[in-house]
Amino acid sequence: MVQVPVLAIHGGAGTINREALSAEAEREYRGALQSILEKGRDALTAGASALDAVTLAVSMLEDCPLFNAGRGAVYTSAETHEMDAAIMDGSTLRTGALSCVHGVKNPIRAARVVMEQSPHVLMTSDGAMAFLREHGVEFMPDAYFDTEHRLAQLHQAQARQPGAAVLDHDGAAAASKLSFAGNPLDEKTKMGTVGLDSRGNLAAATSTGGMTNKLPGRVGDTPIVGAGCYADDGVAVSCTGSGEYFIRLVVGHDVAARVRYQGASLEDAVRAVLARVGELGGTGGLIAVDKMGHVTLPFISEGMYRGCVRGAEAPLVAIYGQEEGC
């Protein structure tokens, strides 16, 4: 049976900060999400695998400085960039993940190299980067990742809360009042996508620069398989939010387990898991797709960059809560 392919993406969830967003900036965000979905849709309808489609979508998010991954990654307390990424093939349970890497142009493509070219699931820091160089992964100079608005976020966060790590748009909201009016959300940001291809295979991919002013060496939920990113033959999940809470609750796997073992619908499973995140004090959201092509993009915050596309249809994108279609 041929399955209608599906692709969903997210770029962070959090508290609406509408006054920090100009009409031009909103068009830019929505346009970026739509362009990524269109490219992913075209790949899937041409017969690409779910794994290839999610790789493409997240690499495009990483290339866009609007988003906290790859080129737009936030700064650590030491004014450096440390990035995490993970990718998972639901049809085989093969997984590749990276933490605390720097200089890697597209961490999601590098995570796939770990999956396909090493015997490991998760690699980190200098050893990971040496391995990636040996396998021809593209690196960029530090200046490629330096952006003025991210540096403003860092300095403002350090002035307000010395020594405290700040979830991406907690810093962006304050910095926007000084120098950058480009972020509509006070968001907890990872970039991620989930996909279902025409053969019924699922995949998930997630990438992030982490938290503004985080201590060097901090690792969030993104590269921890089953926490921020997970896919099996029934469900694919990519998370965004308060990483420490998503790790404690193993959110991605919990969603898949509720569907598999309880027979829960995809919607009921994700709502129940996010409710637990909220009970612990966390915020954020996730995107998920199941083997039947059902898609859900819920969040326990005021908004989430998000979008989805089914078959050859036009993509749907949204930023704020209660937008039709997403």
- 92: annotated active-site residue: no
Alpha-carbon distance values, 205 to 171, 174, 199, 272, 288 (Å): 25, 29, 18, 22, 11
Out of 193, 208, 240, 296, the active site residue is 193
- In single-letter form, the type of residue at position 310 comes to R
d(CA 109, CA 23): 33
Q: At what angle do helices 125-134 and 107-117 cross, to 10 degrees?
A: 80
d(CA 221, CA 240): 9
d(CA 166, CA 180): 17
Evaluated on CA atoms 53, 54, 59, 62, the torsion sign reads positive
DSSP state of 24: H
Q: Name, in order, each residue with C-beta under 8 angstroms of 174's C-beta and a sequence gap of 6 or more.
A: 153, 156, 157, 160
Where in the sequence numbering do the catalytic residues fall?
A: 193
